[in-house]
Structure 1
Amino acid sequence: MAIFSRVRDIFAANMTELLDRAEDPARMIRMIILEMEETLVEVRASAARSIADGKEMRRALTRLEKLQDSWTEKAELALSKDREDLAKQALIERQKAADMADGLREEIDQIDETLKTYEADIAKLQAKLREARSRQNAIANRLESAMTRAKARELLNGERTNDAFSRFESLERRADLAEGQADALGLSGPKSLEEEIAELKSSEKVDAELEAMKAALKKKSS
């Protein structure tokens, strides 16, 4: 079903209202653009026909003007030969050509006015078409943005994401267990040189404190 019935409907159309009423704005804007493009092609075709008609009429007008000049020369020739009757007939034919030329001039003027109307209509149609394509891009961007947001939310809140995080937690527990086992193995292993020296120092300190306590007790008992 056509959205517009004539060119003037396109000029008067409010695309915002059309899209607000549409159940599927993306489909509606595609239909609007398609009909505008078809209408623009039709208007250009009509303008081309008018241009062709104007050119043909101008050629015919040129021929009629030459014909008038020819009849004028014939009338003058007839008068120069004292044939007034022939001169009169030649002038009658010239007048017929002049009348036809005047009619063609009026038609050419009408065609020129029509072409001005076509030119204005084409400019308005192109402006409307640019507006429609701009709206189409805006709708496409909004739809793409909405789909991207929906995918992101699905990714964040979906079962696959939850399963992935559960697997991460399981892997972390396995890593903790492996590290614990490694630490436990380190506890039962041979002592390093630094550890043995530290133990000797600690033992010397304990022995010194023990000897001091013995001396103090001996002195006290004596």
Structure 2
Amino acid sequence: MGMFSRISDIVQANINAMLDKAEDPEKVIRLIIQEMEETLVEIRSVAAKNLAEQKQLDRQISGLQKQASNWQQKAQLAVDKQRDDLARAALTEKHSVESKVTALEEQKTQLDDLIKNIQEDTARLQSKLNEARTKQKSLVARKQNSAVRLQAKQSVNSNAVEDAVTRFEQYESRVEALEAQVDAFDIVPASSETVNLEQQFAQLEKDENVEAELAKLKAKFKKPASKATKSNAKAAA
């Protein structure tokens, strides 16, 4: 079982436990993110140790390979000097060193596979962490929107709002009644006395206009009459 699979099982178990307790979803996802972050720190710490061990193995293998090469040279020298006993001893040491190299290389291969798996698990966990953070932002926004909508619906359904609407309607009715009274003055005719008085003043203005026009006519025909009178007087003389 990979490290990520084990971590996923632990996280899933904690999620199920939180859901069984009817925890706040925002709190649940926040704890999940926190656990993922802590797990990433732990994985990276393990990866760092494995990488350090990998470098150490590389150094050990490199040192042993140099030893094996050195024993090979010594065996060759012993053969040249016709010292088969020393050549055998050198080759024995060389084979011993090569056995150690083989063991270390097998250990290094296992370690390389482990590091590769850790890197893959780390990448997958980091992806899930990024996804969880994105969902956390979305969840917080949805929760806030839901809270605002719930508050609005509660306000709409509250008695206080109903009372305010009722009072507003009553006030609106009073304003409409006042407007109706104002409009009534334009529709209902004035009293008979007021109408009679207005008619008398109108008649006076009319008579005055007539008299003024009559005076103008008299003035117009008066001048020709005076000239005729003077002509008649001269003829009589």
Q: How does 1:136-215 map to 2 (within 5 A)?
A: 136=136, 140=140, 143-186=143-186, 187=188
Instruction: Indicate the RMSD between aligned Cα atoms, in angstroms.
Output: 3.5
Deviations 1:49-84 (A, max 9, x none): 212312321232122212211221122123212334
**Relative to 1, partners in 2 of residues 1:72 and 1:189: Cα closer, same or farther, differing over 3 Å?**
farther
Aligned to 1:77: 77
Cα deviation for residue 173 of structure 1 reads: 2.5
Counterpart amino acid of residue 9 in structure 2 = F
Deviations 1:122-144 (A, max 9, x none): 35545654675576567546634
- Supply the distance in 2 between the matched residues of 1:65 and 1:145 (Cα, whole angstroms): 68
Deviations 1:22-73 (A, max 9, x none): 2214223322332122123212321232123123212321222122112211
Return 5+ residue gaps in structure 1 as ranges.
1-5, 191-195, 197-222
- Supply the distance in 1 between the matched residues of 2:118 and 2:5 (Cα, whole angstroms): 11
- Supply the distance in 1 between the matched residues of 2:95 and 2:170 (Cα, whole angstroms): 108
Q: Percent identity?
A: 34
8 Å contact kept, 1:11–1:125:
no
- Supply the distance in 1 between the matched residues of 2:16 and 2:130 (Cα, whole angstroms): 17
- Supply the distance in 2 between the matched residues of 1:42 and 1:17 (Cα, whole angstroms): 23
8 Å contact kept, 1:22–1:28:
no
Counterpart amino acid of residue 24 in structure 1 = E
- Supply the distance in 1 between the matched residues of 2:14 and 2:104 (Cα, whole angstroms): 43
Counterpart amino acid of residue 148 in structure 1 = V
8 Å contact kept, 2:54–2:111:
yes
1:23 aligns with 2:22: yes
Return 5+ residue gaps in structure 2 as ranges.
192-198, 200-237
8 Å contact kept, 1:7–1:39:
no
Aligned to 1:107: 107
- Supply the distance in 2 between the matched residues of 1:159 and 1:11 (Cα, whole angstroms): 50
Q: How does 1:39-118 map to 2 (within 5 A)?
A: 39-118=39-118
**Relative to 1, partners in 2 of residues 1:98 and 1:54: Cα closer, same or farther, differing over 3 Å?**
same
- Supply the distance in 1 between the matched residues of 2:38 and 2:5 (Cα, whole angstroms): 11
Counterpart amino acid of residue 42 in structure 1 = E
- Supply the distance in 2 between the matched residues of 1:22 and 1:141 (Cα, whole angstroms): 23
8 Å contact kept, 1:64–1:101:
yes
Cα deviation for residue 147 of structure 1 reads: 1.7
Equivalent residue pairs, number: 186
SS of 1:34 mapped into structure 2: helix
Counterpart amino acid of residue 60 in structure 1 = Q
**Relative to 1, partners in 2 of residues 1:94 and 1:188: Cα closer, same or farther, differing over 3 Å?**
same
**Relative to 1, partners in 2 of residues 1:66 and 1:16: Cα closer, same or farther, differing over 3 Å?**
closer
- Supply the distance in 1 between the matched residues of 2:124 and 2:13 (Cα, whole angstroms): 14
8 Å contact kept, 1:15–1:132:
no
